[in-house]
Amino acid sequence: MPELPEVETIKNELLPRIVGRRITGVEIFWYRIVGYPSPADFASRLIGKEIAGGRRRGKYLILELNGEFLIIHLKMSGSLLLDPASPELKRYTRAAIYLDNGATLYFRDPRKFGRLWLVDNPDSVTARLGPEPLEPGFTPELLAARLKNRTAPIKAILTDQAFIAGVGNMYADEALFAARIHPLRPGSSLTPEEIKRLHPAIQEVLKSAIADKGASIENYYRPDGNTGVAHFQFRVAHRGGQPCPVCGTSIERISVRNRGTYFCPRCQPLK
């Protein structure tokens, strides 16, 4: 599932190959992946546009098209593939964007949750997002201030995109393990010491995963069709029943807000 490190990897690997290219054609194979405008307008307005640059905001990829913005969210199972070597990966293509150098950008998404928007102002899509966890503005003090008055489980808070942008299910579990905090602890109950551990833990798990080109759990592929290796570094995420790498206790799996949540009951006690 693409979270911040996966989208960052896609951005890093895709942009050098598409910036400066002009869009010559667009096909939509599943209309509901187009969030705005209508699929027909989306396609006709894209044709002729040049890809001038791009950036990431949370889990969104934003392509700049000289005054307009193509915004992409991969949700659970989406990939952006640029002429992948394996023809197998062209299955589940929901949209194709043809470029003036003969390359094709495939939007692959088996579960059809992904979305594409073509807008004049990116804020119309991303305005609700909280701070970027790897930007200087995300400080321990900001984290502490935002946790006040939050009674939901810390796991649910960390995956709330309005709280922090880009952290999803896997990296929330990894950060809480690194900070030795039980996922069900109410946000406002965290002590100053715990917040001091949690802040760098969030940044470190994200940076480490970016260095490993993302985690290939389920359907994550890089633009060339390769996978990432970050999941081999996971200490608790998706490791239910395996021994904790710190103390050997069996990793537990519980459900928090209907999301699979992995933690070590000994390293992350509820108290």
Least distance between DNA and beta carbon 237 (Å): 8
Of 112, 196, 207, 266, which one interacts with DNA (CB under 7 A)?
112
Phi, psi (deg, nearest 5) at residue 195: -65, -35
Binding residue for DNA (CB under 7 A) from 13, 19, 36, 76? 76
Q: By CB under 7 A, tell whether 8 contacts DNA.
A: no
Binding status of residue 143 toward DNA by CB under 7 A: no
Shorter beta-carbon distance to DNA: residue 39 or 110: 110
- Using CB under 7 A as the binding criterion, the count of chain residues that bind DNA stands at 35
Give whichever of 97 and 109 is closer to DNA, judged by the CB atom. 109
Residue 59 found at the interface with DNA (CB under 7 A): yes
Which are the contacts of 235, defined by CB distance < 8 A and separation ≥ 6?
A: 174, 177, 178, 244, 245, 246
* Interface residue with DNA, options 47, 85, 103, 111 (CB under 7 A): 111
Rule CB under 7 A: say whether 54 interacts with DNA.
Answer: no
Active site residues: 2-3, 59, 259
Candidate residues 10, 156, 205, 244; the one interacting with DNA per rule CB under 7 A: 156
The set of residues, in sequence order, having a beta carbon less than 8 Å from that of 132 and lying 6+ positions away, is: 57, 58, 138, 165, 166
9 interacts with DNA by CB under 7 A: no
Selected binder of DNA within 9, 159, 216, 268 (CB under 7 A): 159
Position 58 contacts DNA (CB under 7 A)? yes
Rounded Cα distance between 96 and 77, Å, is: 16
Give the contact letters, 216-255, x = binds to DNA (CB under 7 A), - = no. ----------------------x--------------x-x
- 169 touching DNA, by CB under 7 A: yes
Q: Which amino acid is at 263?
A: F
Least Å distance, CB 112 to DNA, is: 4
Output 66 or 188, the one with its CB closest to DNA: 188
Neighbours of 82 (CB within 10 A): 18
Return the residue of 170, 190, 195, 202 that touches DNA, per CB under 7 A. Answer: 170
Shortest distance (Å) from residue 235 CB to DNA: 15
161 binds DNA (CB under 7 A): yes
Residues that bind DNA (CB under 7 A): 1, 3, 32, 58-60, 73, 75-77, 110-113, 128, 149-153, 156-157, 159, 161, 168-170, 187, 238, 253, 255, 257-260
